[in-house]
A and B are shown apart, each in its own frame.
Chain A
Amino acid sequence: MSTLSLPLPLARRGRRPLPGFGLSLGLGLAWLSVVVLLPLAALAIRAAGLGMDGWLRAIQDPRVQASLKLSFSASLVAALVASLAGALVAWVIVRYRFPGRRLLDALVDLPFALPTAVAGIALTAIYSANGWVGRWLEPMGIKIAYTPIGIVIALIFIGLPFAVRTVQPVLEALGHEQEEAAASLGASRLTTLRRVVLPELLPALLTGFSLAFARALGEYGSVIFIAGNLPYKTEIAPLLITIRLEEYDYAGAIAIAALLLAASFVCLLAINAIPSLFAHERKGARRDA
């Protein structure tokens, strides 16, 4: 946090480490265009070429519907679990000192770095009928690999770092003082959590949730190994995009891709709206007091 305030005196003196606003913005936008905006624009333009009719027809195909339903629901569940588990992990890392804490901290980022296919193969090896975990669960009638549960697990795996890394800095900045104050005023643990900790964490939690959800929607590599990929049952939308491409049905692929992209974009917009929403509320609350 303190590093952010450093450039300010420099700025006031008119000496900035980067060239002027115009050039910086220009270069930044150019980069963004090449890497992000151009491919997305190409997708949007091709999707627009489909027309509303063509798009609706492609989306309304029952198999596409089934895969979308699966992708959205599995992503939703996974993002929920990931944000709760992620908050817990962040809490442990920030609030406690124990041997191996830094290792745990580093481990959290691993899903970012690991090729997702590797993760998928590893998860499948663990959860399939003769895997480490699967061999204990299968006799109890619990099937994980090749079912929607397996899909959710893979999506939790890739979503977890988002949840941890969004909550962690807020927790660090929060400090214990407010909780101690609440406790000294006689608040129970639950009340402290509900009235003091949660409101502070909520924006970060929601951000983590949205990021994990958006990521899960588009996830392909880790899921296809554990999903089973049976049409109407365990076929995720990104796989159906690949299948449409395999059929040289570019229009069909783009229709599904555009829908997933739009959903992710709405999610990310929501993320950006969240902090201002809460800032407003808190200001209001302060005025009331």
Chain B
Amino acid sequence: MKTHLRNVLLGLTLALAAGAASAKDVELLNVSYDPTREFYADVNQRFAAQWKQQSGETLNIRASHGGSGKQARAVIDGLEADVVTLALAADIDAIATNGKLLPTDWQKRLPHNSSPYTSTIVFLVRKGNPKQIRDWGDLVKPGVAVITPNPKTSGGARWNYLAAWAWASQEYRDGDKVVDFLTRLFKNVPVLDTGARGATTTFVERGIGDVLLAWENEALLTLSDADTRAKYEIVVPSLSIKAEPPVAWVDKNIDRHGTRKQAEAYLQFLYSPEGQRLAAKHGYRPSEPDKVPAAELARFPQVKQVTIDTAFGGWKKAQAEHFADGGFFDKIYRPR
């Protein structure tokens, strides 16, 4: 009888302890863009394990993925993201200005413009490169079909467009000729998908087009499969853009949730050696490459890259000049 009672009590205590532990469970919501799905699945698992070890707290990290612009709008409209990890600073800027959920100088809070990893824009062509596409200039040749998503609806497409613009500015040094180059380039685009994954499907599954303008990490992911490696290859252009997908904690939301400590540590983790190695593993260029063994960086070729700040005066300016209603992208499509 006595032992029975003791067992019951023990059970109750354990149940209470478990209850207390689960009460200490903390949820963190990371609102991200499309191609980071696999990367953050990895990061979330490692960080939660590390956090448990450090603080004893069980972290339940959820991730939401979608088009970068759509995700930003969801956060503005009330999706309670603790952190956002989006495709471009303009989208987080929008959360700061339209939603007032974090200060406008958010990008100064973490190293490297708040981008723990970067990527660049490369070409994916069919095996053997039948159309001999070596550089941006080859994309405007007649008969070359270029696949890129719509910069109006896709963050990745904006990087594609700006990379082409950067190359043309260096090549022609004349505003009209640059616009003309971009116009001819987009004349060669037979389909404007709404997102990067859609464009990859058009190129890889539907077999449309001769060259896909792609995030380097997406291209590496496509080629990680032996089957596709037999059909496609990567061409690195002479000049590309340093695509900086930034991360930020959302102050208004974390203060309400009481998750500031966890959210900040989560983003700091991306800069740790382990976070940097995970980024490299998933095809992103680590912002602090000295934290990663050289062998793991071998897959990233040397590319001459411009940055959004030096070549375009930052995202706010680039967004207004190129992609806003009536901007250069609209001019490119204006019928004449």
Instruction: Evaluate contact between B206 and A247: CB separation under 8 angstroms.
Output: no
Question: What is the bound-complex CA distance between A145 and B190, given in angstroms?
Answer: 10
Q: Which residues of B sit under 8 angstroms from A224, Cβ to Cβ?
A: 194
Instruction: Evaluate contact between A129 and B207: CB separation under 8 angstroms.
Output: yes
In this complex, the interface size class of chain B, counting residues with CB under 8 Å from chain A, is: 20 to 34
Instruction: Evaluate contact between A248 and B94: CB separation under 8 angstroms.
Output: yes
Nearest B residue to A220, CB-CB:
B194
- Min CB distance A28 to B, Å, is 29
Instruction: Evaluate contact between A247 and B323: CB separation under 8 angstroms.
Output: yes
Q: Which residues of B sit under 8 angstroms from A239, Cβ to Cβ?
A: 194
Contact of A252 among B190, B207, B325 (CB under 8 A): B325
Instruction: Evaluate contact between A243 and B152: CB separation under 8 angstroms.
Output: yes
- How many residues of chain A get a CB closer than 8 Å to chain B's CBs? 28
Which residues 4-20 of B have a CB within 8 angstroms of A? none
A232 CB-CB contact with B under 8 Å: yes
Which residues 302-333 of B have a CB within 8 angstroms of A? 323-325, 330, 333
Question: What is the bound-complex CA distance between A248 and B70, given in angstroms?
Answer: 10
A218 CB-CB contact with B under 8 Å: no
- Chain B, interface SS category: loop
B69 CB-CB contact with A under 8 Å: yes
- Min CB distance A69 to B, Å, is 13
Instruction: Evaluate contact between B191 and A129: CB separation under 8 angstroms.
Output: no
Instruction: Evaluate contact between A146 and B333: CB separation under 8 angstroms.
Output: no
Instruction: Evaluate contact between A228 and B192: CB separation under 8 angstroms.
Output: yes
Instruction: Evaluate contact between B325 and A229: CB separation under 8 angstroms.
Output: no
Q: Which residues of A sit under 8 angstroms from B194, Cβ to Cβ?
A: 224, 229, 239, 242
Which residues 207-245 of A have a CB within 8 angstroms of B? 224-225, 228-232, 239, 242-245
Question: What is the bound-complex CA distance between A12 and B98, given in angstroms?
Answer: 59
Instruction: Evaluate contact between B192 and A230: CB separation under 8 angstroms.
Output: yes
Q: Which residues of B sit under 8 angstroms from A231, Cβ to Cβ?
A: 192, 330, 333
Q: Which residues of A sit under 8 angstroms from B94, Cβ to Cβ?
A: 248
A128 CB-CB contact with B under 8 Å: yes
Instruction: Evaluate contact between B323 and A124: CB separation under 8 angstroms.
Output: no
* Contacts A146-B190, A229-B194, A230-B192; A128 near B333 (Cβ below 8 A): no
- Min CB distance A54 to B, Å, is 13
Question: What is the bound-complex CA distance between A228 and B209, given in angstroms?
Answer: 13
Instruction: Evaluate contact between A249 and B325: CB separation under 8 angstroms.
Output: yes
Instruction: Evaluate contact between B73 and A130: CB separation under 8 angstroms.
Output: no
Instruction: Evaluate contact between A128 and B208: CB separation under 8 angstroms.
Output: yes
Nearest A residue to B155, CB-CB:
A246
A131 CB-CB contact with B under 8 Å: yes
Instruction: Evaluate contact between A131 and B206: CB separation under 8 angstroms.
Output: yes
A63 CB-CB contact with B under 8 Å: yes
Instruction: Evaluate contact between B324 and A229: CB separation under 8 angstroms.
Output: no
Question: What is the bound-complex CA distance between A239 and B67, given in angstroms?
Answer: 14
Q: Which residues of A sit under 8 angstroms from B191, Cβ to Cβ?
A: 146, 228-230
Instruction: Evaluate contact between A232 and B333: CB separation under 8 angstroms.
Output: yes
Nearest A residue to B206, CB-CB:
A128
B30 CB-CB contact with A under 8 Å: no
Q: What would be 26 A-B contacts, judged by CB atoms less than 8 Å apart? A: A62-B335, A63-B330, A63-B333, A124-B206, A125-B205, A128-B207, A128-B208, A129-B206, A129-B207, A131-B206, A224-B194, A228-B190, A229-B150, A229-B192, A229-B194, A230-B191, A230-B192, A230-B333, A231-B330, A243-B152, A246-B70, A246-B153, A248-B73, A248-B94, A249-B325, A252-B325
A-B pairs with lowest CB-CB distance, top 6 = A231-B333, A229-B192, A243-B152, A130-B207, A128-B206, A246-B69
B residues near A, CB below 8 A?
A: 69-70, 73, 94, 98, 150, 152-153, 189-194, 198, 201, 205-208, 323-325, 330, 333-335
A residues near B, CB below 8 A?
A: 62-63, 121, 124-125, 128-131, 145-146, 224-225, 228-232, 239, 242-249, 252
